[in-house]
Amino acid sequence: MTAPQRPRVPRRALDGVLLLDKPIGLSSNDALIRAKRLYLAKKAGHTGTLDPLATGLLPLCFGEATKFSQDLLEADKTYEATMRLGIRTATGDAEGDAIDTRAVTCDEAAVQTALRRFLGEIVQVPPMYSALKRDGKPLYEYARAGQTVEREGRRVTIHALELIECALPDVTFRVTCSKGTYVRTLAEDIGEALGCGAHLVALRRTGVGALTLEHSVTLDALSDATQPERDAWLQPVDALLSTFPQVHLNEDDTRRFLHGQRLRLSTLTITGAAVNAPRVRVYAAQGRLLGVARQGEGVLAPERLIVTTETNS
């Protein structure tokens, strides 16, 4: 006799942003799947991968918030990292086998000097153990097969690089960097500048754009919570857009905007820290987020519109 099928749990249409504190050992996609299951969400996505060995801030987008996840992919990131001097590994982190061992003869002053050398725009050669593709194949597949392929250096920007602790051979630092920066590679390059090599042993992301760990939650806490308690952890969709200037439209302009029509900037008042920024978050008069628009040549042009605003607030 065939066992009766369990009824399918209906999925929820909800919009918002979850600031997840990802645990070590879990991929970004696995973390997303678990959170999506806990929320019974119809639609969800993350805003850029965090390595399984890394912990920290992983913003997850639900529903309409997924339309703005690309903005966080482009945003600067902040990390706290610990590197171990004197040992280079095949992967640049603690997962790989040691391939070079050298004596550590530097002191804290030398470490401080080396860190300053990497401030500003630098050129990084992407690591072989990365998801970047060559001829349609990820680099890590070549690396696992014992092959090394030529990689072009890429320009990235190190906005801030601060020593937190120097307990040689371990060095802990905080870095704020542009998109595309490999902290593993940064640690290796600092190790080479010190003449002893290095590899990354710990990495924690503490900031993505204007978002921080301050209002984050762990998967364990979500698992133990009731659904209303989980919903309370969701940030509104415009948490992703907090750095954008804003404009509030009257009823007539709201209707035109939602129909994709351009509005004359001369009739609008844009507020915020960077009122001349190319992109603006747009609200109805009562405070409902309508979407994002571009301003220029005297007009405000709709770019991405919110279909529904069932956010938890």
User: Are residues 159 and 259 part of one domain?
Assistant: no
User: Are residues 218 and 69 part of one domain?
Assistant: yes
Task: Point out the domain boundary residue: 189, 219, 239.
Answer: 239
Structural domain containing residue 86 = 77-208
Task: Point out the domain boundary residue: 239, 259, 279.
Answer: 239
Q: What is the pTM of this model?
A: 0.88
Residue 269 within any structural domain of the chain: yes
CA distance 212 to 209: 8
Which CATH number is 121's domain given? 3.30.2350.10
**Per-residue pLDDT reduced to its tens digit, 166-195:** 999 999 999 999 998 999 999 999 999 999
Q: Which residues are catalytic?
A: 51
Please count the residues of the chain: 313
CA distance 268 to 252: 12
Who's near 85: CB < 8 A, 6+ residues apart? 104, 106, 168, 169, 170, 171, 191, 194, 196, 197, 198
User: Are residues 174 and 70 part of one domain?
Assistant: no
Residue 6 within any structural domain of the chain: no
CA distance 165 to 111: 10
**Per-residue pLDDT reduced to its tens digit, 96-141:** 899 999 999 999 999 999 999 999 999 998 776 666 667 677 766 7
Residue 10 within any structural domain of the chain: no
- pLDDT (0 to 100) of residue 131: 66
